[in-house]
Amino acid sequence: MSLVAIATCAGEAVDEHDSSLLTAALATRGIDARLVAWDAPGIDWDDHDLVVVRSTWDYTERLEEFVAWARSVPRLANPAEVLVWNTDKHYLADLAAAGVPVVPTTFASCVDDLVVPEAEQFVIKPTVGAGSMGAARFAADDLEAAATHLASLVDRGAVAMVQPYLDQVEVDDETGIIVIDGVVSHAIAKGAMLVVDEMDRSGLFRAEAISPRTPSTEELHVAEAALAAALAHLGMPGPLLYARVDLLPSPDGPVLIELELTEPSLFFEMAPLSADLLAMAIEARITER
């Protein structure tokens, strides 16, 4: 029987929906899948036919350690070189340079680097982060508060990114397109994260309002372009085991806000066959060995 590790982080029911559906789908294919914290001591990762990175959501405060772990795992999906590039959102500059429509983004390693976009509101958040933690929204004239927030990020060793706030998301929601083994599986709508009340935060992410969505043709084109540009930049033939392409509505059409190739929720419950699609792709990678 094949043995697969589903890499997660320590804690109770970290990703109970996706993980339970995936392990069940793998079991029907005769694959023994086990949830293992990526930083668990005493694990021989070489014992596994494949290690699938899933809910490793605590890596953001320990990026160097996480990257070193990824590089040490012999059979990892998505591969370590993808994770190294994708865990720091400077990758948005690479995709924008390749012609992908991306939310306009500048980066700031100190307060003097702050460039306020031409928008009524803007967002400051760390380049290494997940679940909108550390993100805050400011009015264009609220520079003192913005500088204070940016300084707080820099003080803890982060680089900040600055983007205009696209308020159309409050009407039309964010779109997340889930791609499994290079094929679109399903999509979700996500309510605007920066209108979530502070009391709805947890230690790893903010609460999310999720529902199924049928992506538009234009959104699918942007998703395809983003994934193609990522693979070209990394010099990889692809396809990747999984990806989630997060898009925001803008006056000029959908724009990329994140390309999630490391540990995105895939929302299997929104598409009953999607867990089996990933299980099939995992099985194929094991067989190819």
Residue that has been written with the tokens 């590089």 in this structure: 71
269/18 Cα distance (integer angstroms): 7
Query: Is the alpha carbon torsion for 191, 197, 199, 204 positive or negative?
Result: positive
Instruction: Kindly state the tokens that stand for 124.
Output: 């400051």
Please tell me the predicted confidence (pLDDT) of residue 280.
98
- Range 91-98+168-266 classified under CATH 3.30.470.20: yes
List the end-to-end C-alpha distance of the chain, in Å, as a whole number: 14
Given a cut of 60, is residue 208 above it in pLDDT? yes
Nearest to 75 by CA among 114, 106, 103, 44: 44
Q: Which residue has the tokens 């609220």?
A: 142
Mind listing the pLDDT tens digit for each residue in 146-194?
Answer: 999 999 999 999 999 999 999 999 999 999 999 999 999 999 999 876 5
Q: Which residues pair with 259 in a beta bridge?
A: 245
Degrees to nearest 5, angle at CA 43 with 41 and 45: 140
Q: Is-same-fold flag (2-87+283-288; 106-164)?
A: no
Please give the residue that has the higher pLDDT: either 248 or 194: 248
Short-list 282, 208, 219, CA closest to 256: 219
Beta-carbon contacts of residue 58 (< 8 Å; ≥ 6 apart): 9, 10, 204
Interior angle at CA 47, CA 39 and CA 4, nearest 5: 75
pLDDT at 196 exceeding the cut of 60:
no
Give the alpha-carbon dihedral of 253, 259, 263, 266, to 10 degrees: 40
CA distances from 36 to 56, 140, 169, 205 (A): 10, 44, 36, 20
Top CATH class, 106-164 = alpha beta
Instruction: Give yes or no for a contact between 56 and 28, defined as CB atoms under 8 angstroms apart.
Output: no
CA distance 255 to 264: 18
pLDDT band at 198 (very low <50, low <70, confident <90, very high): very low
pLDDT tens string 18-67: 999 999 999 999 999 999 999 999 999 999 999 999 999 999 999 999 99
pLDDT confidence of residue 37 = 97
Mean pLDDT of the chain: 93
Q: Are the CB atoms for 287 and 79 separated by under 8 Å?
A: no
pTM for the complete prediction? 0.93
| Beta-strand pair 76-77/136-139 | unpaired
Burial pattern 171-197, b for ≥16 Cβ within 10 A else e, equals eebbbbbbbbbeeebbbbbbebbbeee
* 169: three-class secondary structure by DSSP: helix
Q: Report the C-alpha gap between 285 and 245 in whole angstroms.
A: 22
Domain 2-87+283-288 has CATH 3.40.50.20: yes
pLDDT exceeds 50 at position 200: no
Where along the chain do its domains lie? 2-87+283-288, 91-98+168-266, 106-164
Here the tokens at position 272 are 């009953």
For the CA atoms of 252, 190, 277, 48, the dihedral, rounded to the nearest 10 degrees, stands at: 110
Is residue 195 predicted with pLDDT exceeding 70? Answer: no
| Residue 97, number of CB atoms within 10 A of its CB | 11
Tokens (6 digits) for 69: 């772990």
